[in-house]
């Protein structure tokens, strides 16, 4: 009997240890592909995250491989005017980033991140495949330019059908890109448990390398793919992008059994609208003297301390007769204080959001007018002709070098000398804005030099190439590229840290809209400047002429430099207003290591 009792005790202890081990291996807020609690030993971690990163690398390869050299195709093959070609590129890029809001909404409300990534990756593959066909078939582009009797080159612009198919291809790609961007980084972080110290450190490593891999994809796009476009065939280059994305989708789907899936708590956009609608409905009610009399059904450890800012929104939490204090009523009529405070936190992001848009307007010039400048300049190194679009390699190189210097030199030095972990996110954003302003000054000076040489040579004696080295453009690429290294990481860090926990996807989408609006602002400014300075007596073409040798692109760059400087001053004011907000009660929840 004693032996039997000992045996049963051992079995019980062993079974209990197994149960504890199974419980410790389960991720509380994630499930596996079968819908069961996710097991740490079988799901998540770096292998699934790497499969997700592969999708992002191929997306960046396709999007940038198309964008950085699209302006030369529009001008040289489709015979679109300079300013119009630049606007087509910025509209394409702006739409790509703007559609991330749609992708985020679908992921949060209906599809989930896994399905969103798979569907939109296939859409991008479809668009890239269509672009491959449209650039391959001769009937889908106008005939080459021919010499007119007067000695001037005559070019037939692409017709409506040709431009329509090109637009359709580009905007299917934009739709795919937007859907991917909304979910890739979030699904990647889903593979790590932020309650596990070891996995939390791995999550930080994932974020640190995320931007690095984006830059690697861009580097390959602006070198190898651009060279293939200019020297082999555009259809071959776009076909490579299509095949790469399809392979990335297959690799991504191969990890289905290894992924961790987290259920969404609903769309943050809907939550924000609920707070606004409830506050408007109760606008005539008087606020209670104490916040404890307002509705808040969040668990104690998840509540956000009430603040006095934007008090109008607090009316959404006023309890009237017939509404319960213990359970959810109609969220369009009654919202908890914590939900209201989440909306307030999002509102406090808006000043920084607004003042970072200008950087991406400057960025847009690097893949439009700067590439057009390069097409007119000497680009030969011996017998090798540098593709105009490949000048952006200096832009990407500046990003990678800046990130490396910051991580390996600046951060250790600041930690040793000042006891700080590096620049704050707002300081990094400010540095990025300042560098972009200086970059536009450098661009204006380089264009002044290029125009002076063009007037003395090409405009007097004819010829297609201005006898000045393309390397005069390097400073503007380096300065704006270094600026992006600071502002991109600073923005991403700021929007993730300062947003409420339940709205991280929304804040990431808000960050991506700064890129979108920056491109659209570039389109707007180009159109306005073209309209206000174009035409006139003597055959003047204005600042942004159809031929940049007859324009004053240097004046446009100077105009952007002034706007950027004014924007930097506005950012400093907004940053000073934003800083105190981080020290309030919500900081405890919002400071999550990305």
Residues 201 and 125 in one domain: yes
In Å, the largest CA–CA distance within the chain is 115
Same domain for 258 and 274, yes or no, is: no
Q: What is the dihedral of CA 7, 8, 9, 13, to 10 degrees?
A: 100
Specify whether 273 is located in the same domain as 259. Answer: no
Question: Which tens digits make up the pLDDT trace of 367-376?
Answer: 888 888 888 8
Contact 162, 142 (CB under 8 A): yes
Range of the domain at 490: 356-594
Let me know whether 444 and 537 are in one domain. yes
Per the CB < 8 A criterion, the answer to whether 104 and 183 are in contact is: yes
Could you tell me if residue 9 is inside a domain?
A: no
With 0-12 CB in 10 A as exposed, 13-18 as middle and 19+ as buried, what is 321?
exposed
Q: Are both 177 and 53 inside the same structural domain? A: yes
Residue 141 contacts residue 73 (beta carbons within 8 Å): no
User: With contact defined as beta carbons under 8 Å apart, do 235 and 136 qualify?
Assistant: yes
Distance CA 507, CA 62 (A): 25
Query: What are the angstrom distances between the C-alpha of 238 and each of 63, 95, 159, 385?
Result: 10, 20, 22, 21
Give the chain's residues under pLDDT 70.
1-24, 146-154, 201, 203-205, 207-208, 264-266, 322-329, 458-464, 501-502, 504-505, 535-541, 579-594
Per-residue confidence (pLDDT) for residue 118, from 0 to 100: 93
79 and 52 in one domain?
Answer: yes
Q: Tell whether 185 is covered by a domain.
A: yes
Buried b (16+ CB within 10 A) or exposed e, 222-238: bbebbbbbbeeebbebb
Long-range contacts of 35-43 (CB under 8 A, 24+ apart): 38/260, 38/261, 40/193, 40/196, 40/199, 42/258, 43/191, 43/258, 43/259, 43/260
Q: What is the DSSP letter of 359?
A: H
Residues 463 and 585 in one domain: yes
Residue 494 lies in a domain: yes
Helix (H/G/I), strand (E/B), else coil: 298: coil
Domain assignment present for 245:
yes
Domain final residue, candidates 232, 264, 296: 264
Closest-CA residue to 493 (of 421, 400, 440): 421
pLDDT digits (tens, 9 = 90+) for 525-584: 998 998 888 754 445 568 887 778 888 899 999 999 999 999 999 999 999 887 544 433
Residue 508: the pLDDT is 74
Q: Which residues pair with 377 in a beta bridge?
A: 466
Host H or E run for residue 146: strand 146-147
Distance CA 33, CA 31 (A): 7
Is 16 contained in some domain?
no
pLDDT at position 587 is 39
Domain harbouring 215, CATH code = 1.20.1250.20
- Per DSSP, what are the bridge partners of residue 154? 146
What are 385's strand-pairing partners? 380
Same domain, 291 and 155: no
Instruction: Reduce the DSSP state of residue 546 to 3 states and report it.
Output: coil
Question: Of 292, 324, 344, which marks where a domain is finished?
Answer: 344
Same domain, 237 and 280: no
| Both tokens assigned to 135 | 């650039």
pLDDT at 564: 96
What Cα–Cα distance (Å) separates residue 27 from each residue in 32, 44, 254, 260? 10, 10, 22, 9
Residues 458 and 339 in one domain: no
Task: Note whether residue 10 is domain-resident.
Answer: no
Which pair of structure tokens corresponds to residue 11? 């079995």
Last residue of a domain, one of 211, 229, 264: 264
Q: How many domains does the chain have?
A: 3
Is 584 part of a structural domain of the chain? yes
Residues 466, 319, single domain; the answer is: no
- How many CB atoms lie under 10 A from the CB of residue 171? 16
d(CA 352, CA 309): 17
Please check whether residue 7 lies inside any domain of the structure.
no
Distance (Å, rounded) from C-alpha 388 to C-alpha 374?
5
| Number of neighbours of residue 330 by Cβ within 10 angstroms | 10
Rounded to 5°, the CA angle 216-217-219 comes to: 60
DSSP letter for 12, please.
H
Report residue 210 as tokens: 């995320």
Whether residues 246 and 276 fall in one domain: no
């Amino acid at each position: 009997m004693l032996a039997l009792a000992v045996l049963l005790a051992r079995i019980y202890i062993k079974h209990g240890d197994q149960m504890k081990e199974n419980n410790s291996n389960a991720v509380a807020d994630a499930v596996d592909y079968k819908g069961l609690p996710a097991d740490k030993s079988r799901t998540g971690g770096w292998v699934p995250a790497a499969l997700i990163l592969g999708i992002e690398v191929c997306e960046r390869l396709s999007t940038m491989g198309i964008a950085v050299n699209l302006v030369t195709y529009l001008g040289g093959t489709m015979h679109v005017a300079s300013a119009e070609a630049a606007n087509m590129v910025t509209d394409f890029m702006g739409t790509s980033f703007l559609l991330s809001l749609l992708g985020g909404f679908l992921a949060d409300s209906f599809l989930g991140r896994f399905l969103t990534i798979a569907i939109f990756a296939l859409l991008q593959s479809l668009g890239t495949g269509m672009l491959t066909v449209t650039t391959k078939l001769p009937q889908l582009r106008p005939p080459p330019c021919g010499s007119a009797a007067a000695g001037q080159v005559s070019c037939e612009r692409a017709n409506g059908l040709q431009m329509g198919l090109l637009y359709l291809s580009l905007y299917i790609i934009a739709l795919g890109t937007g859907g991917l961007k909304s979910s890739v980084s979030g699904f990647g972080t889903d593979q790590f448990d932020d309650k596990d110290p070891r996995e939390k450190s791995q999550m930080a490593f994932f974020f640190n390398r995320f931007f690095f891999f984006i830059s690697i994809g861009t580097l390959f796009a602006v070198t190898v793919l651009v060279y293939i476009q200019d020297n082999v065939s555009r259809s071959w280059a776009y076909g490579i992008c299509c095949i790469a994305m399809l392979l990335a989708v297959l690799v991504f789907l191969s990890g289905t059994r290894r992924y961790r899936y987290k259920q969404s708590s609903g769309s943050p956009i809907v939550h924000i609208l609920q707070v606004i609608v409830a506050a408007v409905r109760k606008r005539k009610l008087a606020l209670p003297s104490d916040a404890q009399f307002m509705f808040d059904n969040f668990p104690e450890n998840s509540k956000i301390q009430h603040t006095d800012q934007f008090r109008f929104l607090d009316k959404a939490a006023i309890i009237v007769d017939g509404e319960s204090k213990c359970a959810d009523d109609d969220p369009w009529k009654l919202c908890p204080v914590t939900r209201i405070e989440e909306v307030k936190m999002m509102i406090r992001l808006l000043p920084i959001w607004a003042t970072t848009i200008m950087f991406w307007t400057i960025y847009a010039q690097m893949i439009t007018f700067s590439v057009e400048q390069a097409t007119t300049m000497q680009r030969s190194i011996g017998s090798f002709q540098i593709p105009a679009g490949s000048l952006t390699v200096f832009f990407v190189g500046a990003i990678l070098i800046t990130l490396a210097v910051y991580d390996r030199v600046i951060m250790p030095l600041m930690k040793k000398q000042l006891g700080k972990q590096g620049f704050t996110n707002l300081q990094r954003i400010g540095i990025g804005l300042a560098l972009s302003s200086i970059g536009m000054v450098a661009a204006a000076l380089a264009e002044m030099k290029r125009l002076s040489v063009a007037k003395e040579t090409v405009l007097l004696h004819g010829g297609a190439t201005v006898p000045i080295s393309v390397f005069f453009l390097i400073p503007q690429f380096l300065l704006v590229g270094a600026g992006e290294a600071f502002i991109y990481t600073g923005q991403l860090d700021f929007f993730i840290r300062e947003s409420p926990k339940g709205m991280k996807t929304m804040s990431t989408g808000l960050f991506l809209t700064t890129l979108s609006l920056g491109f659209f602002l570039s389109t707007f400014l180009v159109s306005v400047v073209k309209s206000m300075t174009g035409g006139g007596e003597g055959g003047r073409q204005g600042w942004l002429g159809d031929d940049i040798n007859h324009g004053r692109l240097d004046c446009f760059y100077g105009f952007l430099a002034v706007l950027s400087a004014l924007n930097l001053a506005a950012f400093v004011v907004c940053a000073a207003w934003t800083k105190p907000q981080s020290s309030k009660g919500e900081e405890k929840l919002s400071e999550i290591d990305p």
